[in-house]
Amino acid sequence: MLHVFLLRLLLPLGLLLSAQVHANEPVSPCVQYETTDQNRVHIAKVDLHCPGIQIIGTPVKQSSQTTSNFAFPNKTTVAINGAFFDEKSKPQGLNVSNGIRWPGSYDTIHHSFLACTIENRCFIEAPNRKTAHNPAWHTVISGWQTLKNGRYICPRGSQKICHSNARGQHPRTAVGLSNNHRYLYLVVVEGRKTDFQGYTLNQLARLFKKLDVNNALNLDGGGSSTMIINRTRVNELPSRQFFLERNVANHLGIIDTTPH
């Protein structure tokens, strides 16, 4: 009876993997999910030309929750963890959710961001820029290193930790925009496992280049890296976390309401 109780306890929290999500096939009319590198790298491809696609972020008053607990009530088709954050669970850089800018949130030359309007016109800010908030942006998620043309870029004047983070093998979360701006890619790389440590950022940048994505953005990674497809976490967490997802400051979600 104990194992039945634990199953009932864990399922609502999205802490278990499920065989219901199959790789390399559509999970909705406008979202394709696939894996690569021995199923350790998870890729969601979103067609931004579909009118049923909605891009959302974490409501400002709902920070510091797991990706599953963001995904379930919002009924997302795909959800990933978002920006790097400080000890008070404040996301770093410019972050906007549902048209509302996070309090005290602004862009710096040490961050770049993905910004999308409510019509799903998206762009990724170039590195070493400082851009004012545009009220037309419906969702903005900030990251750290830029992934461009198969290589990572640390902002000018970055501390050594930027490069050491980039050169180490770690779990990763990233977003990229296809060169024609039609497809948004959400990528999560597993890591810190006995048989798979993760990706360097140059490895991640080369993956995006193979996807015909020359501009991508590294989001918070490590133990935060999580991808939820419908109601299932598809990635394995680092070994020391067992099945426990980490609370993070904010998230990026895709909702596909396109009729089947």
Residue range 200-228, pLDDT digits in tens: 999 999 999 999 999 999 999 999 999 99
What's the pTM value of the predicted model, to 2 decimals? Answer: 0.92
Say how many domains are in the chain. 1
Please give the Cα distance from 115 to 86 (Å, whole number).
21
Report the percentage of the chain scoring pLDDT > 90: 85
Please give the Cα distance from 139 to 134 (Å, whole number).
11
pLDDT (tens digit per residue) in 82-139: 999 999 999 999 999 999 999 999 999 999 999 999 999 999 999 999 999 999 999 9
**113 token code pair:** 């961001």
* 170 CB neighbour count, 10 Å cutoff: 21
What's the mean pLDDT in 222-248?
A: 95
Q: 82, 96, 187, 185: which is closest to 137 by C-alpha?
A: 96
Structural element, H or E, at residue 97: strand 96-97
The more confident residue out of 42 and 10 is 42
Domain span holding position 92 = 2-256
CA angle 149, 31, 252 (to 5 degrees): 70
- Asked if 16 and 243 touch (Cβ cutoff 8 Å), the reply is yes
